[in-house]
Chain A
Amino acid sequence: DIVMTQTPLSLPVTPGESASISCRSSQSLLESDGGYTSLDWYLQKPGQSPQLLIYTLSYRASGVPDRFSGSGSGTDFTLKISRVEAEDVGVYYCMQRMEFPGTFGPGTRVDL
């Protein structure tokens, strides 16, 4: 399986400031036949199911505010939250879907 790691595992934030989460995969997630990167970000808010935030490295899912952005390449990826809001608290997961089964990172807990 492709192993996903994340840093930090805990991230205290201040509303209005920016925050970044790093994710690393044990092998490249660049699809050779399409040139895209099979890396997604999910947010699990307290007591809720995971929700898709960013797909295919950098595309925001429907309804996701533009303060969320994804970047990176190969094996190193970053989720950035600019102007953190109180509603952004929860656990953020990166997930690779290049190989089945997809594998998730351990999660980064973001709280105020």
Chain B
Amino acid sequence: EVQLVQSGAEVKKPGESLKISCKASGYSFANYWIGWVRQTPGKGLEWMAIIYPGDSDTRYSPSFEGQVTISADKSTATAYLQWSRLKASDTAMYFCARPMYSGTYYSSFDIWGQGTMVTISS
């Protein structure tokens, strides 16, 4: 079964760092792009960044460039999203997602992780 399993909920303070994960199974991790989507009550669903684990090629949404870092580890079939200095506005649900077709991110996303809730509060 193809699935993405995300790390658990996090509660952090402003200024702290954080790295959340998305572990893939059931398919060839290196051959599919994998991305992160943020969900907030105010702005809804927003694409943040996407990575091709095969060669670590990355794309960032202009809204998130410089704010987060996406990475992937082929040896553990895991994608990551990290922050160096969290802000209260980073409070959100974060989903990882994989497209239907290998080798392209211009594709519908049919596999989603269960979500990781991140809460930033002093």
Total contacting residues, chain A, CB less than 8 A: 22
B109 A52 Cβ-Cβ under 8 A: yes
Interface-central residue, B48, B108, B113, by most chain A CB under 10 Å: B108
Q: How far is the CA of A51 from the CA of B108 in the complex (A)?
A: 10
| Total A-B contacts with CB atoms under 8 angstroms apart | 55
Task: Tell me if B108 and A97 are in contact (CB < 8 A).
Answer: yes
> Closest residue of chain A to B112, judged by CB?
A49
The 8 Å CB contact of A106, one of B44, B105, B112, is B44
A107 at the interface (CB under 8 A from B): yes
Question: Judging by beta carbons under 8 Å apart, are A55 and B100 in contact?
Answer: yes
Assembly CA distance A93 to B43 (angstroms): 13
A30-44 vs B, CB cutoff 8 Å, 1 = contact: the mask equals 000000001010000
Contact A55 B45, beta carbon cutoff 8 Å: no
Q: Are A93 and B108 in contact (CB under 8 A)?
A: no
With a cutoff of 8 Å between Cβ atoms, the chain A residues found around residue B110 in the complex are 52, 55, 61-62
B83 cross-chain contacts in A, Cβ below 8 A: none
